[in-house]
Structure formats: structure tokens, C-alpha cells
Structure 1
Amino acid sequence: MWATVTSPRPEKAFMLLALDGYPQLPGNSLAMLYHTEMSTPLKEALLGDQVRVGDRLFVEVLLARPDLRRSGKVQVHVREIPEGPVDTALLGRDENVGDDSPRSGEN
């Protein structure tokens, strides 16, 4: 599923994401993407302060449960799917990315 970066936190090596199709999660909960669930290029971009609010990622939900520390909220953890579809809005943002750039796992 697609997710939109709402709060990159390079100093803590994670980011908060809004999940497409789930705008009304209880308590306006956001999904967390930890550095351990990111591809190396995304992790390097985050730590290099290159991930921006509004960037889009393809993710898979790993965990969704009531938040034990914050009443009325949901804890959602995701992992990046680097071989997922390309968000065409981001193509061309980096001079090394183009319409014919191979994705990992594709020949």
C-alpha cells in the first residue's frame, strides 16, 4: 500500500507515515517506519536528511494493535517494499532516477 511521509525523524532513524486508504485511524494515529525495516538507499536518504514531508513509499503493514501507552490510538508498524511500484511524482527529482531506471529484482 502507498504511504505518505508526514514526519521524517533522521535524528531517531525512523519516520511517521499516513497510510493511503486509512485516513481515519483512531486518534489520528500514524504508521511508524523504523530504520531496520528500510532499504539501504532509503535509510541513507533519511539519515542524510533527504527524505521530505510528502514523499511517497510503498509499504507493508507488519503490526496493527491498540497502543498500550496512549489511550484511543493504534500502534502501526510498517516495512518498506523497495521493489514496489514507482511513484511517478518522484521520478526526475534525483538526476539518477528516470523512467527507465531498473528496480531491484527486475530484469
Structure 2
Amino acid sequence: MSAEDLENYETDMELALYREYRDVVSLFAYVVETERRFYLANHVDLQVRSAAGEVYFELSLADAWVWDVYRSARFVKSVRVVTFKDVNVEELAKAELDLGGGAGFPR
């Protein structure tokens, strides 16, 4: 497989993942970003913890979808994430959920 073939394959995988995201985003209430992953979820519990002077974040997500091109099963019943970096949790407004017809987004 040439470098160009590999790049085309990865581009196709990313496009398929975006299309899946566009199809499922309306099923979820929250967007969660960590330094390693992007999630959609219907329940989010974020706890700030500390141990030995270090602060970390513990996230529990239920009914979630994971943005990961290499993951075969992106829908998960529950996820527990521990991170030392910032976490961004946003509640999706229903108006934000309509991605269809947005300029610049492929269908």
C-alpha cells in the first residue's frame, strides 16, 4: 500500500466517522471533550478530585458515543474517564443539533 493509498484510506475513514456523528448527534444531550477523546452522551457526571496535591477529573458518562476512527463499536453503555487535563462539557441546545444543510459540511 502506497503512502497516497494510506492517506486516502484515512481520509475516507474520517469522512465516514463525521457522517456517523452527523447522523447520531441528535440522540445525545451533551458534548464532552478531553485531551484524548471526544464524546457524545446523555448523562455526564464530572467530579474534581485531588490526591497527593494533584488535581484530576473523573468523568462518568452513560449512553455515550465515542469519536474514534479506529474503534469498531462507538456506542457504549457507560464510560469512566480519568484525566489530569481540562475537561469541557457542553449541553447541546436543540437548535445546535440540526447539522443538515449547514454550509461547508458534506452530506
TM-score (norm. length: structure 1): 0.26
TM-score (norm. length: structure 2): 0.26
- Structure number with the higher helix fraction is 2
Q: Pick the structure with greater CA Rg.
A: 2
- Structure number with the higher strand fraction is 2
